Homo-oligomer: A and B are copies of this chain.
Amino acid sequence: MGSARQVNIAIIGAGGVGRCFLSQLEQLVKRRPEPKLALVYISTSKKAFYTKDYTTIVLNSAVSNLASSTETPLAPAALADYLTGSSSKAIIVDNTSSQDVADAYPLFLSRGISIVTPNKKAFSGSYKLWKDIFSASAQSGARVFHESSVGAGLPVISTLKDLVDTGDEVTKIEGVFSGTMSFLFNSFAPTSGSGGQWSAEVKKAKELGYTEPDPRDDLNGLDVARKLTILARLAGLEVESPTSFAVQSLIPKELESVASGDEFLEKLPQFDSEMEKVKAEAEAEGKVVRFVGSIDVGTKQVKVGLEKFDRSHPIAALKGSDNIISFYTKRYGSNPLIIQGAGAGGEVTAMGVTSDLLKVLSSLS
């Protein structure tokens, strides 16, 4: 039946982040015998593997068990029934980017099941879903943590929560929130040297695996808009959705509707002069251009798009595909609290999920 000293884990999603998380969980279980973490359920969008009696799935065979399984995933209500059928507490680890899974969070939480996830959809969708999630959590006492929804494993969400919860007044949040955009602009408009052609840098980023399969899914700015929505809400603004504020897309209008990412990449060089102009304008002021997001809490203004920065500005001096997030607050005064480092990648994203899992465990003990 599962014992009280056991905590049941259900993992949804077994892609890049999911596999890194599984491997971190395996290490964690070796280091920390108490409480006993039992992986009882794992699923993708098509398949599921789980134990009827809540015995643990051997962690290093979870992926192969899943591959050979003929079961389909449980619907949210059935998954909740399954998990609450044990006397042990349960935690769902959602390693998908699925809106459907996100929509089920209020149900899971209301049934006392805690959630840890890097899935942005739950926290950047409708404001109603946001409210439903946190009120379900407040009522049942089940916890929900989502550190990796912004900046992967970087301590961004926890730091913002700490600032707000201890009564500081956050006045502005600004930064580079996309590893892809960071890489593109650090190469296209470096602080020293002239940088590459825009279309060539986009192509290179895709080849290095830094973009989505269709690079337009990065260049439309929506990923950054989702992260800004999450931070703005945590800072107290009732942002309705990631499309309810100004988001600058770097997709030329003429290429918005071309059929494929490949066709997009093929035609992008025709529009290089537009980005060159933007770069030259910044250079004329002794600056460089970067793709940033900002939240002005006082004026409730959320913005995503291109801005110019002095070459000595921390945002200009970023390296590789690093993120940087600056929190301006009343207590910190004119110099912001800054967090910087890799904001994408399976291992660091899974790290945020694992550390969230440890936070839930600490609150259960």
Given A24-B167, A166-B354, A365-B363, A340 and B340 touching (CB < 8 A)? yes
> Is A298 part of the binding interface, using a Cβ–Cβ cutoff of 8 Å?
no
A224 within 8 A of B: no
Instruction: Report which residue of A159, A163, A166, A191 has the largest number of chain B beta carbons within 10 angstroms of its beta carbon.
Output: A166
Complex: chain B residue closest to A350, CB-CB: B166
Interface string of A138-169 (1 = CB under 8 A from B): 00010000000000011100110011011110
When distances are taken between beta carbons in the complex, the residues of chain B under 8 Å from A141 are 365
Contact partners of A270 in chain B: CB under 8 A: none
| Complex interface: chain B residues within 8 A of A319 (CB) | 335
Contact A337 B333 (CB under 8 A): no
Give chain B residues whose Cβ lies under 8 Å from the Cβ of A365. Answer: 141, 363
Please tell me if the beta carbons of B333 and A342 are within 8 angstroms of each other in the complex: yes
- Nearest chain B CB to A321's CB is how many angstroms away? 9
A27 near B167 (CB under 8 angstroms)?
yes
The closest CB in chain B to the CB of A320 belongs to B335
A154, A162, A363: residue with the most chain B Cβ atoms closer than 10 Å: A162
Residue of B166, B191, B317, B337 touching A341 (CB-CB under 8 A):
B337
Is A88 on the interface with B (CB-CB < 8 A)?
no
Contact A339 B339 (CB under 8 A): yes
Contact of A331 among B31, B338, B347, B358 (CB under 8 A): B347
User: Contact between A348 and B332 (Cβ–Cβ < 8 Å)?
Assistant: yes
Contact A165 B355 (CB under 8 A): yes
Asked if A94 lies at the interface with its beta carbon under 8 angstroms from chain B, I say no
Given the contacts A162-B155, A363-B362, A336 and B341 also touching, CB distance less than 8 Å:
yes
Q: Is A312 an interface residue (CB 8 A)?
A: yes
Complex formed: what's the CA distance from A67 to B163 in Å? 31
Q: Answer whether residue A278 sits at the interface, using C-beta atoms and an 8 A cutoff.
A: no
Contact B331 A337 (CB under 8 A): no
With CB as the reference atom, state the residue of chain B lying closest to A348: B331
**What is the copy number of this chain in the assembly?**
2
Query: From residue 324 to 365 of chain A, which have CB atoms closer than 8 A to chain B?
Result: 331-342, 345, 347-348, 351, 354-355, 358, 362-363, 365
Closest to A355 in B: B162
Residue of B nearest to A168 (CB): B351
Chain B residues lying within 8 Å of A339, measured Cβ to Cβ, are: 155, 337-340
Nearest chain B CB to A172 CB, angstrom units: 14
Interface flag for A174 (CB, 8 Å): no
Contact residue among B27, B158, B332, B341 (Cβ-Cβ distance under 8 Å from A158): B158
Sampled A-B contacts (19; CB under 8 Å):
A24-B167, A31-B167, A153-B166, A155-B155, A155-B158, A158-B158, A163-B351, A165-B355, A165-B358, A166-B351, A317-B317, A320-B335, A322-B335, A335-B342, A336-B341, A337-B342, A338-B338, A338-B340, A339-B339
CB-based closest 3 A-B pairs: A337-B341, A338-B340, A166-B354
4 further A-B pairs in the complex, CB-CB below 8 A; given A28-B167, A166-B351: A27-B167, A153-B331, A154-B337, A158-B158
